Chain A
Amino acid sequence: VYLLFQALRQISQRTINTASRRQYVNRVSENQKLFQEDNGLPVHLKGGAKDSLLYRATTGLTVFGTMYALYYLLVSSMPKKPN
């Protein structure tokens, strides 16, 4: 069992090393290339499809919320009709 444990320790250490090496690699120059591409996209959409999705979600939520707020503003401004 002790030998198995040692093996597991060595494997996990090696995996963590590779994983952290992958994470800590300097990707700044790749990003610089991506965001300086001459494609006419504004910076808030220049990252790709994820940007558009997030933008649409934010706009959708905000526009819906604004209409909701205006509706309740109108409703609460009206006098309550007594029966």
Chain B
Amino acid sequence: MAHQAHSYHMVDPSPWPILGASAALLTTSGLTMWFHFHSPYLLIMGLTSTALVMLQWWRDVVRESTFQGHHTPTVQKGLRYGMVLFITSEAFFFLGFFWAFFHSSLAPTPELGGQWPPVGIKPLNPMEVPLLNTAILLASGVTVTWAHHSITEARRKQAIFALTLTVLLGFYFTALQAMEYYEAPFSIADGVYGSTFFVATGFHGLHVIIGSTFLSVCLLRLIKYHFTSNHHFGFEAAAWYWHFVDVVWLFLYIAIYWWGS
């Protein structure tokens, strides 16, 4: 059996990159079919195939690392760089929506009544559910850090408890936001206020759901003994992502909910 003379990971040939690209094609063309021709079938196929590819690709990464031992310190360093770069790209993504918000709110046009919030818009009270949501996400940042310390100290039960709390707090945030969306007196169609509010908070909510899913997978892996006290990068990546989601919320809360009301 041949052995490599380097510490990098030369992966087995895999179908997931090309199938993932096809899934993206189906999703985007599916959106077009749904918007313009009222047919959801292609979109459904796209979302399903995307989910299937994600499941199998990441399943394979777990196999390559935990079961085959390919994640040397060199490989882990590359993964760390990768996650940092990805989160940075997401930060720029949100920056765009904050730009749009400040563009419209710093100099409100006559069509809006020359004021922000625009005439006729009754904004949500920032001291009610939004404040609770802020407390929830801050608390979840504490619990995820607690979970990390528990993992490094090899305290299994405590780690499972802390990570479970984190996931539950994430679900609580999502449930409260969903209720807020339902009860809000304004909609996405209510001018530029509605657009900036729902697009920015909506994408944030999507990232909370993604982060909660990532943390749930980590919880499952934690229970199945995948993590060791000094090698648990999957968990660290999930924790970084979660802190990022928390920080974006703080900016959203201060700018849109508080200053913008």
Contacts and interface: CB of A to CB of B under 8 A. Distances in A.
Contacts of A35: 63, 67-68
Nearest to A32: B67
B67 A42 contact: no
B1 A58 contact: no
A16 B223 CA distance: 17
A72 B40 CA distance: 13
A69 B69 CA distance: 40
Nearest to A24: B223
Interface in A50-83: 54-55, 57-59, 61-66, 68-69, 72-73, 76
By secondary structure, the A interface counts as helix
Residue with the greatest number of chain A CB neighbours at <10 A, chosen from B11, B16, B45: B45
Contacts of A66: 22, 25-26
Contact of B224 (A28, A38, A61): A28
Nearest to A46: B63
A35 B11 CA distance: 14
B67 A31 contact: yes
A58 B19 contact: yes
Contacts, number: 88
A18 interface: no
A7 interface: no
A39 B144 CA distance: 40
Contact of B15 (A27, A38, A46, A59): A59
Nearest to A35: B67
B29 interface: yes
A62 B111 CA distance: 47
Contacts of A63: 22
A24 to B, nearest CB: 7
Contacts of A76: 37
Interface in B206-259: 223-226
B57 to A, nearest CB: 8
Contacts of B60: 43-44
Contacts of A24: 223
Given A58-B53, A65-B45, A72-B29, 17 more contacts: A26-B224, A28-B226, A32-B68, A32-B69, A35-B67, A36-B69, A42-B12, A42-B14, A43-B12, A44-B12, A58-B56, A62-B19, A62-B22, A62-B23, A65-B22, A69-B29, A72-B33
26 contacts: A24-B223, A26-B225, A28-B66, A28-B224, A31-B66, A32-B67, A42-B12, A43-B12, A44-B15, A44-B16, A55-B15, A58-B52, A58-B53, A58-B56, A59-B15, A61-B48, A62-B26, A65-B42, A65-B49, A66-B26, A69-B26, A69-B29, A69-B30, A72-B29, A72-B33, A73-B29
Interface of A: 24, 26-28, 31-32, 34-36, 38, 42-44, 46-47, 54-55, 57-59, 61-66, 68-69, 72-73, 76
